[in-house]
Amino acid sequence: MIGIVDYGMGNLGSVANACRFLDLRAEVIADPSELAACRAVILPGVGAFGDCMEHLAQRGFSPVIKAWIAADRPFLGICVGLQALFESSEESPGVAGLGVLKGTVRRFTIDPSLKVPQMGWNRVRRARADEPMFAGVPDASFFYFVHSYYAAPADPAVVAGTTEYGIDYCSAVRSGSVFAVQFHPEKSQAAGLQMLRNFGAIVQGGGGAA
């Protein structure tokens, strides 16, 4: 089973519906103890970095998610679920992230003709050809974004995808069994559904529904 973490923030319904459409066995979990029955975790997120970290801590998910990732178990972060993996964010100075990945989250400082937040469709280019989460997804496919901040990893080796919006920035990361994206695959039509299908195949160890 894939556990979709409910910590009071995130597009739980959209993610759950996308998994259901793909026949992936997934359930929303609201208590850290429910992770014991899961083979994989999805951490969705919308809203502010600081609120995300506060809610994760209040509901007891922060140490459990860090332990899950340390055990190299399948994990997918979406939007703020990607940002939470880093050490800090310019959105919430002084608030520590999970620190699973080195680096910070920065605010767009770009040409004023480009609106912030970036809201709508944009291309994602693979950083490497063999990324399994992009299997069957044409390079430079469009995905749906809503964000004002972007991840700036300290280690370029974790960058799995990039997007151009005034600057070229990291829009997807991979480290071991952790994969996370700034965009919303659950709202990105065929390309996003294929990415979620790939996650299900990874959870199963190469194919089939989770």
Question: Has residue 65 been placed in a domain?
Answer: yes
Question: Has residue 209 been placed in a domain?
Answer: no
- Quick one: which of 41, 31, 49 has its CA closest to 1? 41
Please give the residue range of the domain that contains residue 14.
2-203
Could you say which of 38, 91, 147, 184 is catalytic?
Answer: 184
Task: Report the chain's mean pLDDT, rounded to a whole number.
Answer: 94
Question: Has residue 35 been placed in a domain?
Answer: yes
For this structure, is 184 an active site residue? yes
Residue 207: the pLDDT is 42
For this structure, is 55 an active site residue? no
pLDDT tier at 11, thresholds 50, 70, 90:
confident
Question: Has residue 198 been placed in a domain?
Answer: yes
CATH at residue 17: 3.40.50.880
pLDDT in tens, 189-198: 999 999 999 9
Question: Has residue 97 been placed in a domain?
Answer: yes
pLDDT in tens, 44-102: 988 899 999 999 999 999 999 999 999 999 999 999 999 999 999 999 999 999 999 99
If one compares 159 and 112, the residue with the highest pLDDT of the two is: 159
Residue 124: the pLDDT is 98
Q: Which residues of 61-77 are buried (b: 16+ CB within 10 A; e: fewer)?
A: bbebbeebbeeebbbbb
Kindly list the distances between the CA atom of residue 140 and the CA atoms of 110, 120, 129, 134, 195, in Å, as whole numbers in the listed order.
21, 15, 12, 11, 14
Q: Average pLDDT for residues 128-153, to the nearest whole number?
A: 96
Could you say which of 19, 52, 79, 170 is catalytic?
Answer: 79
Question: Has residue 208 been placed in a domain?
Answer: no
Say which range, 15-19, 103-107, 109-113, has the weakest mean pLDDT.
109-113
pLDDT tier at 206, thresholds 50, 70, 90:
very low
For this structure, is 87 an active site residue? no
* Residue 22 reports pLDDT greater than 90: yes
Residue 158: the pLDDT is 98
**Looking at the 3D structure of the chain, how many domains does it have?**
1
* Residue 210 reports pLDDT greater than 90: no
Question: Has residue 210 been placed in a domain?
Answer: no
pLDDT in tens, 108-138: 999 999 999 999 999 999 999 999 999 999 9
Question: Has residue 73 been placed in a domain?
Answer: yes
Contact 50, 91 (CB under 8 A): yes
